[in-house]
Amino acid sequence: MSPCCRAKIYKFGNKRRQCSGCKKTWTRWPKKRGRNPLRPHHKLLHRVVAEKQSLLTPRFNRQHLTEGALSARLRRTMERFLQRGKPNTAPPGQLILVIDALWFLFGGKRWTLYLTVVRSVDRDQAVMLEPVLYPDRENCDDWARAIDSISRNVRNRIVALVCDGFRGTDRLASGNHWIVQRCHFHLLSQLHLNRGRWKRLPNSNEREAVYRAIRKVLIARPEKLNHCVNELTALLVRNDCPRRLGMIGREFLRRLDQFRSYQRYPNLRLPTTTNSVESLNRIIRSRCRHLRTPRSLLLRTTVLIRMRKTITCKPKIFQQN
């Protein structure tokens, strides 16, 4: 039956057909209208995404196209790149998961980009996984959704989590039975803000003493750990201890095992910072500075991660003897 009048169809050869009711004819294999699509411009993709060049650089804008036309061509090239390629493959064996988040503003609303990196226990090269973008601020529920987006085969091989200690870290790690290693860099940066070495804050000597005591506890050997902890505790209970530093120090002692997991599990070769993902954050910031929509941000970030594939993530060197 014909699609127009639901009447009988007459056959004219192998290609043409006619409706017996309205006499309308059509072909079985209609030709695609419009010009043939252009081939992917891989040089444009490499220079803009990988080398951070401007779209209007005369070297590859020889057709003198507008910025909008070049942006549309770049978008089509990135979409074809993702369609033809495959996500990065995680390394074999036991894995360490390093995570961090990056936020952007679009139309006055905050969006958070969740980045995950997996590294094998016996290697120093980490593989970047697919990014996930959610509205609102960083939170534990969205982190759980981002980790659930990782394939089950990869999740089952993760044994440790390296993070900056966001709210909900313990709940996320205990639900997956992971060892937690908190980032030393984020802790020391908090201490530097309240150290008072350059700002001439009051009680500068006490601030410096607390800072040095926390650093000693971070790197102390197991046989000297109790002595270093007692020194830090004595500084924190003094009346002249700054209030903010006292809060940081007491929270540090409550989470001490998570800051020293790299010494408790030396066979895992854990990194003590999230600097590998922080360096990826800087690259994404520089490549996605002028994007206007969350969709374009996710598209370009995914292309960038698939092009780079790996990033260096070295462990903390700790000699037991």
Span 224-262, pLDDT tens digits: 999 999 999 999 998 888 888 899 999 999 999 999 999
Rounded to whole angstroms, how far apart are CA atoms 96 and 314? 11
Spatial neighbors of 297 by CB under 8 A, at least 6 apart, are 104, 106, 111, 113, 133, 288, 291
Taking 90 as the threshold, does the pLDDT of residue 71 lie above it?
A: no
Phi/psi at 272 (5° precision): -100, 5
Spatial neighbors of 185 by CB under 8 A, at least 6 apart, are 273, 274, 275, 278
Rounded to whole angstroms, how far apart are CA atoms 74 and 57? 14
Taking 50 as the threshold, does the pLDDT of residue 102 lie above it?
A: yes
Burial of 144 (0-12, 13-18, 19+ CB in 10 A): middle
- What average pLDDT does this structure show over 137-158? 94
- Per mean pLDDT, which range of 35-39, 252-256, 314-318 is the poorest? 35-39
Does residue 115 contact residue 100 with C-beta atoms inside 8 Å? Answer: yes
Taking 90 as the threshold, does the pLDDT of residue 151 lie above it?
A: yes
The count of other CB atoms within 10 Å of the CB of residue 176 is 15
Spatial neighbors of 203 by CB under 8 A, at least 6 apart, are 196, 240, 241, 242
Does residue 295 contact residue 71 with C-beta atoms inside 8 Å? Answer: no
Burial of 262 (0-12, 13-18, 19+ CB in 10 A): buried
Question: Residue 46 is encoded by which pair of tokens?
Answer: 């490499």
Counting residues of the chain whose pLDDT is more than 70, the rounded percentage is 92
